[in-house]
Amino acid sequence: MIDLHTHSAYSDGTQSPRELFEEAARAGITVLGLTDHDTVAGYEEAREAARETGVGLVTGIEISTRLHGKVVHLLGYLFDETEGITQHCIRVQEARVTRLKNMVDAMAEDRLITWDEVLAVAGSEATLGRPHIADALFKRGTISHRDEAFATYLSPRSPYYRDYWAPSLPEAINLIHDGGGVVIWAHPRADSRGGAHGWSAINEGIDLGIDGLEVDHRDNPAEDREKLARIVMKLGLVRTGSSDYHGSGKHNQLGEHTTSPDMLDRIAHKATMEVYYP
Ligand code: AMP
Ligand code: FE
Ligand code: FE
Ligand code: ZN
């Protein structure tokens, strides 16, 4: 079983890479992709964990980008860590800190949460995001699951919501391609701020050089998966499927959607870096 999209505590997952790999081994996963948001900080620990558990590792990243004012999550796989990618991660980390601090300052005025509480749950090395505010609210007992915070305080319609800088879709595609990586549009038909992207936007992404689509993902409505699959087939693109597992932070379960060995081979052949088979 190949699951190419998961998160550790280096972003908004709830487990260390080691815990993630141990759980993957128990779940019967043979190859796991680590795709933390806008960071590569988990790779070293993931490689050790892969060695210890015998689960293969596909190094990856999930980059938040923008197209026509809406968010596109882009998965990059098996790239070299170029200077451009390092600089991207530093810039986004800073933008995300400023943005989250702005949200928390507004919430603190209403005595909902403090910045120290958010930092305490996130740890010092995580790519910060709204899930960390949710975790701090959970710790206070204000909410009983991250979901609840996303439906209220953290929703884009909330008065506390703030946006943050993200690269444009073409910039992010080039960043990963310059590092010799493979680029997949994550959960292309998921609801994003302002609604899901239309089919013309998806075609635009393909014209911009996207190598494949994450067809099998719980956030793509079932009827759309068939259409996505047809597009991928017709254009000879890479088709992936994955869980987008976040530990206990989301309901998604490891291996709930998977990628075929053929498709993993195609990714590996296209990319500079190799899959790490311990
Ligand atoms: P941000 O990047 O700070 O805007 O936060 C977006 C992140 O929140 C995504 O990476 C998701 O993993 C996570 N997220 C979005 N909706 C939910 C939800 N309902 N429950 C838990 N996590 C969520
Ligand atoms: Fe996430
Ligand atoms: Fe995503
Ligand atoms: Zn994800």
pLDDT of 274 > 90? The answer is: yes
Q: Is the pLDDT of residue 192 over 90?
A: no
Nearest bound ligand to CA 243?
A: 4
CA 35–ligand 4 middle distance (angstroms): 7
- What is the pLDDT averaged over residues 132-147? 97
The predicted model gives 143-164 an average pLDDT of: 96
Q: Ligand 1 in contact with 5 (CB < 6 A)?
A: no
Ligand 3 centre from 73 Cα, in Å?
A: 5
Which ligand ends up closest to the CA of 9?
A: 2
- Give the residue, by CA position, lying nearest to ligand 1 atom 1: 129
Q: Taking the domains of the chain in order of start, what are their residue ranges?
A: 97-151
* 71 CA from centroid of ligand 3 (Å): 10
Q: What is the per-residue pLDDT across 218-231, written as a single tens digit (0 to 9) for each? A: 999 999 999 999 99
Ligand nearest to the CA of residue 164, numbered in listed order? 1
User: For residue range 163-177, what is the model confidence (pLDDT) as tens digits?
Assistant: 999 999 999 999 999
**Ligand 1, pocket-test mutation among 5, 61, 146, most atoms within 8 A of CB:** 146
Q: Is the CB of 205 under 6 A from ligand 1?
A: no
User: For a substitution probing ligand 1, which of 8, 39, 130 has the most ligand atoms within 8 Å of its CB?
Assistant: 130
Q: Which ligand is nearest to the CA of 131?
A: 1
Ligand 1 lined by 33 (C-beta under 6 Å): no
* pLDDT at residue 194, as a whole number: 74
179 CB near ligand 1 (under 6 Å)? no
Strand partners, 63: 74
pTM: 0.98
State the distance from the centre of ligand 4 to the C-alpha of 173, rounded, in angstroms: 17
CATH number, domain 97-151: 1.10.150.650
Q: Does 139 or 192 have the greater pLDDT score?
A: 139
Cα distances from 32 to residues 58, 65, 134, 182, in angstroms, run 6, 23, 26, 16
Q: What is the mean pLDDT of residues 38-56?
A: 98
Split at pLDDT 50, 70, 90, the class of 195 is confident
Across residues 111-122, what is the average pLDDT? 98
Provide mean pLDDT across the span 73-80.
98
